[in-house]
Chains A and B, each alone.
Chain A
Amino acid sequence: MPSPKRIGKIEFGLLSPKEIREMSVRKIIWADTYDDDGFPYPQGLMDLNLGVIDPGLRCKTCDQKASECPGHFGHIELAKPVIHVGYTRLIRKLLRVTCRSCGRLLLSLDEVAKVFGTEDDLTGDQVSEKDVKKERTCPHCGEQQLKINFEKPTMFSEVLLEEGRKVEHKLTPADIRARLEKIPNEDLIPLGMNPEVARPEWTILTVLPVPPVTMRPSIILENGQRSEDDLTHKLVDIIRINQRFKENQDAGAPQLIIEDLWELLQYHVTTYLDNEVAGCPPARHRSGRPLKTLSQRLKGKDGRFRGSLSGKRVNFSSRTVISPDPNLSVTEVGVPRAVANEMTIPVRVTSYNIEQLKQIARNGPSRPTVNGPCGANYVIRPDNRRLRLAEGNLDTVAEMIEPGWTVERQLRDGDVVLFNRQPSLHRMSIMAHRVKVTEGKTFRLNPAVCPPYNADFDGDEMNLHIPQTEEARAEAYILISVEENILSPRFGGPIIGGIHDHVSGIFMLTHGMRHFTKEEVLYLLRFTNIEHMPPTAKEENETEYWTNKQVFSQILPTELNMVFRASSCQNCETCKKELCERDAYVRIFDGKLESGTIDKKAIGAFDGQIVNRIIRQYGMRRAAEFIDDLTKLSIRAIMLDGFSFGIDDEDLSKTEHGQIEEVLRNAALDVERRIKIYEEGQLEPMPGRTVEETLEMQIMQVLGKARDLTGQIAGRHLGLTNSAVVMAVSGARGSMLNLTQMAGCIGQQSVRGERIVRGYDDRTLPHFRKGDRGSDAHGFIKHSYKGGLNPTEFFFHAIGGREGLVDTAVRTSQSGYLQRRMINALQDLKVAYDGTVRTTGGRIIQFQYGEDGTDPTKSAFGDPVDVKGIVESIVKEEV
């Protein structure tokens, strides 16, 4: 490998006409490309000196074949100079700051020094248009200056005063070029130009470089017709007009015709350089499609920089829809047979594996069942010739295989592959899984790995990449396998854990005290590797029973000790510990769940206290096993009882409806009372607020309280037999607020945190009186989703809902761009062996990573050491 080089400096300059002619290998004068025999015209746009694209021909300049010749530039001598659109800004500035007669900068030496600063003064700035006062006289030759007008895209004119009237006098590119030529070198430096590499007159083209044919290859369509590149089309236009221009000039055509042709030439050169200039109709293809010229090749998402240089395409990848499979391990990925048969891993034949590989070759390219042995699609001989395996030649090819050959083996169970979902926002967006060949056409994954990918199954697609070398596979497995990424470097806690039904299921299993018969216990623990049943908890009517906590304890590692509070904990002032009526005090003693309910806080993604402790105590691999056991156990637990939700789960009894109505009536009365106080001018404003703001805040508060009260009334009626309550309490999905809105009262709708005030004069809708400040008139919804909204409520709900949608749409696009910029700035930084953060050039960014040298993945939620957790696990008591 070549040693790394340090870039000393980069110089940006303009190509001088001299340089363009020097680098040119051929003057191009003919607008035609190929003759009737399909051979390029000499001195035409496809001249053989410019490089070759047809196989078989040789380049006339370098004598190389089409694959080796890089191509060479030619040039077109323009009949008259034209402006380069990319430099119109610079030209305008130069015309405005220099003298029209002597070409000097329109500032005296003192004035230049004032703006630009002296040699070692560090505060200087470049001279800009603003530093030169309008229509002054030249301090060097005394010439009166005229105003320069610029009209997009390439028109410059001077404003003359003739007989008291303003007259615009057009400047031809030749005039401009003559003026720019007069600017002396010394005057260019304060303007920020280096005259060594960029003389201003070089921004006016007198000779146009013709890019090599390799940059604009013509393609041959199916019907044998040649189709030329957009650039070639544009160059043809330029040469045609140039030729006509020359002829007219030589024939002494009238000034008007010359000017027209000059403008036409300017248009073609302009669109050749940039076809999206403001004030210039884009040049179009015969079909009406705008041509993709030089600037369009570079710009934008699919341009040369973002599309070709920073964006790459890869082989050995596949993409399809994903779907869940709770029976897979979190470390596995289900790969459809069709994909597994297509994707291959090269295996080098040695004397040790020759027999297996011969058998694989004999199996051929098709695998009849998912459990069938893998085959191979190609074998590669030592001379790099590929032999395709097909139904007829399997045995012959298999017999030919010798050490030194390579067999491109199909995917099989256990292969390490990379699995990815876009947008790849953090490192867990690409993880290494092990292949499990499955039926169907979708990739399968355990739903517990959805959080790191941020995946769901509403049609998401994901990508699969197959590492091709031993090193790549080893690296993938050791560094980015799912097991290694359970902990997130974002907050040092587990990002993989139970979600949705896992949480609901394990909550229903472990909540309170339940007893199971042997059949039930075995059904729940079917998939785990339990060898012995624990001692029975009780015996009744000659039936043995085990408790629900015993069942869960089977998947815990022995010697696990911890104490924490479940997500259903209400943070009571004095904790009743084991006697908690919510069973929220979780205590695990020597791997046995003594009390408490297992829920989101214990095993959920992003929280997962038990998962976290297992990682610290037993390592990532044990934690992955635990998550596997957990997902299987919880799904069985939820299936034991069944779990569903329907419209009648929101039903309340008559008493609750009466209570809710009363609460809302009281709230409405309270609001009215406060409005009355306000209208009488008796309302005392809060510090720093106006009276109106105070009233609004009070109303919001009263209505908010009323809504919460309805929720409490509904909650009293709906207990843990209600699945929505189970989901809210366990943390699986939703909250009590959602339930309040479904069964109780939806509450106040808001725009920008305030009640809805927009609409007509002094009122939101024509249904209300002007100046009505009541709760109904400003978006309070007193009905529930189940009860149904009245028309005005429905409209207010739509207003509030729309704000939410707009907010999310705006936020995602903004944060996406923010992230892109940050990643671009940080992408090549690394932590060196001495703990410093450095760029690839060895420049130090941080003298100690994070200032304390701590890996956030290994820290305990921000702290370097989890002292409390360690002490608790040793003394086996809460501290």
Chain B
Amino acid sequence: MDTKLNVLTHVMVPDHTIMSEEEVRTLLSHYNITTEQLPNIFHDDPAVKAIDAKVDDVIRIVRISHTAGRAESYRLVIKRPKK
């Protein structure tokens, strides 16, 4: 039996999706930034593992926001550095 919990189904976990290359390009040009200027997320983050994202992917996170109703943010998947 697969007992692994899919964190994405939990109410407290916001929606994570991998962005296509095209979407990433428009995102970067919209904010006039390079990928290094994006916020990061570790490759071993449970949500990242759940959507099977790889290092250098960009993830779109859609949250229910207290102030705005719906807020989008974007994160670049990075390797967790050694301690």
Contacts and interface: CB of A to CB of B under 8 A. Distances in A.
Contacts, number: 53
A122 interface: yes
Given A122-B43, A834-B31, A848-B71, A843 B83 contact: no
Contact of B37 (A125, A126, A842, A851): A842
Interface string B14-40: 000000000000000001110011110
B4 interface: no
A844 B82 contact: no
A846 B68 CA distance: 13
B80 interface: yes
Q: For the side of the interface on B, what is the size category?
A: 20 to 34
B26 to A, nearest CB: 14
A836 interface: yes
A850 interface: yes
Contacts of B37: 838, 841-844
Most buried by B among A125, A836, A851, A852: A851
Nearest to B71: A851
Interface string A114-131: 000100001111100000
Interface string B38-65: 1100011000000000000000000101
Contact of B68 (A834, A842, A843, A852): A852
B72 A847 contact: yes
Contacts of A871: none
Given A848-B68, A851-B65, A851-B67, A836 B31 contact: yes
A542 B69 CA distance: 65
Judged by DSSP, the binding face of A is loop
Nearest to B40: A843
Interface in A802-848: 834, 836, 838, 841-848
A854 interface: yes
B79 A843 contact: no
B6 interface: no
A122 B80 contact: yes
A368 B43 CA distance: 74
Interface in A65-116: none
A834 B31 CA distance: 8
A831 to B, nearest CB: 13
A844 B31 contact: yes
Contacts of B82: 117, 122, 124-126
B77 to A, nearest CB: 12
Q: For the side of the interface on A, what is the size category?
A: 20 to 34
Contacts of A852: 65, 67-69, 71
Given A126-B83, A843-B37, A845-B39, A850 B67 contact: yes
Nearest to A856: B67
A122 B36 contact: no
A675 B79 CA distance: 65
Interface in A338-366: none
B79 A125 contact: no
A843 B73 contact: no
Contacts of B39: 843-845
A17 B79 CA distance: 37
B67 A854 contact: yes
Contacts of A845: 39
Contacts of B72: 847
A852 B65 CA distance: 9
A125 B72 CA distance: 34
B40 to A, nearest CB: 9
Given A125-B83, A842-B37, A847 B74 contact: yes
A847 B69 CA distance: 15
Nearest to A834: B31
B16 to A, nearest CB: 15
A461 B58 CA distance: 53
A117 B83 CA distance: 12
Most buried by A among B38, B69, B82: B82
A384 B58 CA distance: 58
A844 B38 contact: yes
Contacts of B36: 843
Nearest to A843: B37
B15 to A, nearest CB: 15
Contacts of B32: 834
Nearest to A864: B67
B38 to A, nearest CB: 6
Contacts of B31: 834, 836, 844, 847
Contacts of A844: 31, 33, 37-39
A855 to B, nearest CB: 12
Interface in A845-875: 845-848, 850-854
A117 B65 CA distance: 40
Contacts of A843: 36-39
B44 A122 contact: yes
11 contacts: A122-B43, A122-B80, A126-B82, A834-B32, A836-B31, A838-B37, A843-B38, A844-B33, A848-B71, A851-B65, A852-B68
Given A126-B83, A846-B73, 16 more contacts: A122-B82, A124-B82, A125-B82, A838-B37, A842-B37, A843-B36, A844-B37, A844-B39, A847-B73, A848-B71, A850-B67, A851-B68, A852-B69, A852-B71, A853-B68, A854-B67
The 9 closest A-B pairs by CB, nearest first: A852-B68, A851-B71, A851-B68, A852-B67, A851-B65, A843-B37, A851-B67, A847-B73, A842-B37
Interface of A: 117, 122-126, 834, 836, 838, 841-848, 850-854
Interface of B: 31-33, 36-39, 43-44, 63, 65-69, 71-74, 79-80, 82-83
